[in-house]
């Protein structure tokens, strides 16, 4: 069985056409290249918008590389060993984000060896899935928000997600009422508080916002506050979505067992890569809950074609890898008429550009 011969990393920063926050108009991507002892190669990545990119790369360079060299290239074999190796630095967070870089590179290597894309490699179950329109829009004024929603409707999305969490919930309600009017009664409207509320404020806000018929409320509380979610789950009829800031299958199992969420949203990078993502998807399927992969349509759009459950993909405006010039156009995943279309290419189907930046050359 082939073994890992070398691992190299490159830290890069790509500017976003529509920044998520004004003070950080870029995304950090760490490209991870693997060569096995037979000369086969794989190229993966890990990702963090604003926090921790240099720390993630240091874990890859200093700890994961030394532990992985000479080990199996089979990701299902290697991942639990490396997670145990890094656990002293934390069970999740920058440790799992670092693991994702190597894990995605190993899946790319496997796919290239087999000449198969991810969906075929895993066993394709469907031709396409739907995508919903999404964006970071709490800072937008009413006219800009209306224009964004109009673009999503024109693009064929039958569901959209809008941020909430203004200092005065009355402003949230006014904005959502406008969005609901634009969408009409048949399109779904999801709302996302991005962990801005405590239990008391979440409870009172959701009572008022329920008039716009939200399909779900995402992260109303801090993701760590499981006890708070238990109480909120009893206080509202609005489905609760949670998971983009949950990092391990153990935490997802805890959320499932305690019944605190209706929709679970693993981010394929933050949970440690494709290997643990597939395990979490199986957990959610067995629990009869809804899976909604968080961000990264270039990867999650491909995985969605092979998952046991049908999922919707999050289409964040101008944030895919082609839009930020992180990969060559066209990418393997395109979203047209609200539907995900995938061109099958070996491995991940894309390679992060090699464009060293100041953040990289300063190391």
Q: How far apart are CA 220 and CA 192, in angstroms?
A: 7
What pLDDT shows up at residue 360?
A: 45
Bigger pLDDT: 244 or 49? 244
pTM of the full predicted structure?
Answer: 0.95
In a domain, 356, yes or no: no
Q: Are residues 297 and 246 in the same domain?
A: yes
| 228 and 102 belong to one structural domain | no
Q: What DSSP assignment string belongs to 224-279?
A: T-HHHHHHHHHH--S-EEE-TT--SHHHHHHHHHHT--SEE---TTTTTSHHHHHH
Indicate whether 357 pLDDT > 70: no
**Of 64, 80, 115, which residue is a domain's last?**
115
Domain end among 115, 147, 165: 115
> What pLDDT, in 10s, does the model give residues 326-348?
999 999 999 999 999 999 999 99
Digit-coded pLDDT (tens) for 80-90: 999 999 999 99
Query: 72 and 48 in one domain?
Result: yes
The reply to whether 108 and 130 lie within a common domain is: no
Quick one: 16 and 125 in the same domain?
Answer: no
pLDDT, one tens digit per residue, over 176-235 is 999 999 999 999 999 999 999 999 999 999 999 999 999 999 999 999 999 999 999 999
Whether the per-residue pLDDT at 363 is higher than 60: the answer is no
pLDDT of residue 361: 38
Residue 350 lies in a domain: no
- Co-location of 177 and 220 in the same domain: yes
- 159 plus 298 within the same structural domain: yes
Looking at the predicted structure, is the pLDDT value of residue 66 above 50? Answer: yes
Yes or no: say if 97 and 51 are a contact pair by the CB < 8 Å rule.
Answer: no
- Domain span holding position 70: 4-115
Query: Is the pLDDT reported for residue 304 higher than 90?
Result: yes
Q: Which of 85, 115, 145 is the last residue of a domain?
A: 115
Structurally, how many domains does the chain consist of? 2
> What are 34's strand-pairing partners?
7, 42
Q: Tens of pLDDT along 255-288?
A: 999 999 999 999 999 999 999 999 999 999 999 9
Is 361 part of a structural domain of the chain? Answer: no
> Percent of the chain, pLDDT > 90?
93
What span, in angstroms and rounded, lies between the C-alpha atoms of 217 and 238?
7
The one catalytic residue among 28, 157, 247, 294:
294
d(CA 126, CA 187): 23
Q: Which residues are CB-neighbours of 140 under 8 A, at least 6 positions away?
A: 148
Amino acid 356: pLDDT: 52
d(CA 199, CA 240): 13
Q: What is the CATH number of the domain that holds 319?
A: 3.20.20.120
Predicted confidence (pLDDT) per residue in 7-41, tens digit:
999 999 999 888 877 777 889 999 999 999 999 99
CATH number at residue 99: 3.30.390.10
3-state secondary structure at position 43: strand
Q: How far is CA 320 from CA 73, 207, 302, 332, 335, in A?
A: 28, 34, 13, 11, 10
311 with 229, same domain: the answer is: yes
Separation between Cα atoms, residue 22 and residue 353, nearest integer Å: 24
In sequence order, the 6+-apart residues with CB closer than 8 A to the CB of 224 are none
List 163, 166, 247, 250, catalytic entry? 163
For 161-170, what is each residue's pLDDT tens digit? 999 999 999 9
Place of tokens 């995938």: 342
363 domain-assigned = no
Whether 166 is a known active-site residue: answer no
161 annotated active-site: no
Verify that 209 and 261 share a domain, yes or no: yes
Say whether both 223 and 145 belong to one domain: yes
Question: In angstroms, how far is CA 58 from the centroid of its own chain?
Answer: 22
Give yes or no: residues 64 and 147 share one domain.
Answer: no
Mean of pLDDT over the chain: 95
DSSP state of 289: P
């Amino acid at each position: 069985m082939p073994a890992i011969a070398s691992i190299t990393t490159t830290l890069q920063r790509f500017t976003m056409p529509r920044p998520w926050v004004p003070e950080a108009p870029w995304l950090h991507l760490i490209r991870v290249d693997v060569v096995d002892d037979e000369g086969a190669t794989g190229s993966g990545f890990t990702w963090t918008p604003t926090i921790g990119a240099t720390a993630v790369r240091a874990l890859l360079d200093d700890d994961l590389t030394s532990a992985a060299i000479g080990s199996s290239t089979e990701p299902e074999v290697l991942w639990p060993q490396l997670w145990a190796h890094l656990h002293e630095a934390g069970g999740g967070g920058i440790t799992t984000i670092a693991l994702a870089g190597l894990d995605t590179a190993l899946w790319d290597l496997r796919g290239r060896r087999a000449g198969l894309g991810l969906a075929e490699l895993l066993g394709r179950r469907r031709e396409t899935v739907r995508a919903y329109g999404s964006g970071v829009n709490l800072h937008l004024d009413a006219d800009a928000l209306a224009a964004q929603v109009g673009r999503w409707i024109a693009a064929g999305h039958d569901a959209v997600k809008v941020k909430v969490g203004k200092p005065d919930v009355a402003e949230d309600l006014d904005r959502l009422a406008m969005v609901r009017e634009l969408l009409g009664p048949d399109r779904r409207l999801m709302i996302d508080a991005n962990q801005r509320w405590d239990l008391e404020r979440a409870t009172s806000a959701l009572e008022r916002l329920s008039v716009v018929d939200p399909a779900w409320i995402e992260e109303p509380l801090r993701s760590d506050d499981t006890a708070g979610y238990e109480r909120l789950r009893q206080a509202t009829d609005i489905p609760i979505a949670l998971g983009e800031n949950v990092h391990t299958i153990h935490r997802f199992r805890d959320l499932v067992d305690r019944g605190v969420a209706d929709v679970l949203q693993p981010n394929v990078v933050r949970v440690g890569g494709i290997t643990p993502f597939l395990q979490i998807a199986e957990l959610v399927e067995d629990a009869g809950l809804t899976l909604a992969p968080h961000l990264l349509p270039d990867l999650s759009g491909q995985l969605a074609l092979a998952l046991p459950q049908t999922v919707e993909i999050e289409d964040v405006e101008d944030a895919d890898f082609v839009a930020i010039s992180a990969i060559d156009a066209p990418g393997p995943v395109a979203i047209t008429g609200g539907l995900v279309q995938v061109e099958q290419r070996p491995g991940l189907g894309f390679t992060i550009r090699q464009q060293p930046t100041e953040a990289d050359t300063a190391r």
